[in-house]
Structure 1
Amino acid sequence: MEEDSNALILPCKRKNKAQGIGKDGKKSKSKEDPKMSKTQLKKLQKLEDKELQQSEAALQECFNPPIVVPVSRPQEVEKARRDLPIIMMEQEIMEAIYENTVVILCGETGCGKTTQVPQFLYEAGFGTSNRAGRKGMIGITQPRRVAVLATSKRVSYELGLKLGKEVGFQVRHDKEVGSKCSIKFMTDGILLREIQVLYMFAFPGYSYQSILFNRSALS
């Protein structure tokens, strides 16, 4: 009879030990699951709060009416734009931009990447709206000073805007950027310097849609 009693007790002890239950019947704390420090808890809480805010902003964006910035283009510009291959891809490009943080767009020279994509973004409210996700400035880089001046003039003309106000440019020793500038053309070097300044001083409200060229080592 005594042997039968031990046979019942021993497995029970083994089970309690496996579950971390001590002799007093209380569950012991696992060494593999230590408590988080107050600093770690605060960081975790901040991260969770940030993720929640981003989710709420994204959800609110879905219910907000779409932003359309009216643009009055000359008739000859409208006709010329219809012949550009990239115009047929506008919806697909914008959907990719909405759904991704980084978008790499490849196209043949002359298809309209540099002049038309900034206009797609401008008409969708980027650079002109205070809505979350669309604040900041549309930035386009070019490898040469001449290209910066030429493309900025062309885009301002196509949008019917004055160069130096909503559409601006910046090269070394020359700059025309208004206080309400939405689209800014610049050389690669100017963009790198601005990124350094933004990183050092953490200026809020700046976001760039950049078109880079592989001809430049800086790109």
Structure 2
Amino acid sequence: MDDSEFVSVSTHYDMLIEEENDPVYDPKPLQEYMDQSDGPYFIHCLNLTPMKDVLEIGVGTGRLAVRVAGKCKTFCGIDISEKTVVRARRNLKEFDNVSIILGDFLEYSFDALYDVIYSSQVFWHIRDKQNAIAKIAGLLKKDGIFVLSIDKVQPEVTDYGTRKIKMFPDDKEKILKFMEHAGLCLQQVGETEKAYVIVTYKS
């Protein structure tokens, strides 16, 4: 399949906003479905406290951030979609500890370190996973944790009917090797109904 048949990730998520698709306001059955990848167990793994600085990679409209921001000292989210970032800022406006960045995680220059970095249902959009994990390791404080949720089903293409998105499937064993190579220590690999939840820390 030729790359010209696909839309970019940023275009796709911009289009979702235009279609009024905002997971923050999903009906309860859909929220419960999404929780099968990153629900209460995933949030628990973040080990949040009011003293911690947190970064979410691929914040989207704030589906997870609305649960996290009130439990930490500072919250930073980054996303590549301009319209999604605008919506996230609106959804999170009640929190005075939140900053939302428009940018590509691999290209953006951060000026802070974090106690907790997490990402869910995002890594399959990242081609260069090894460099992404190395950058995450560099952004963690000593003893900081990185929590990653990757779905058990990994399509190479996602077809939305009106458009197709090229995916870069996550291989759990390769991800674990990249984490080890980046100097991250494995704490646990847990499972939800739909996903593997990998918890690592920087020693």
Structure 1 length-normalised TM: 0.32
More strand as a share of residues: 2
Structure 2 length-normalised TM: 0.33
The structure whose RCO (Cα within 8 Å, separation 6+) is larger is: 2
More helix as a share of residues: 1
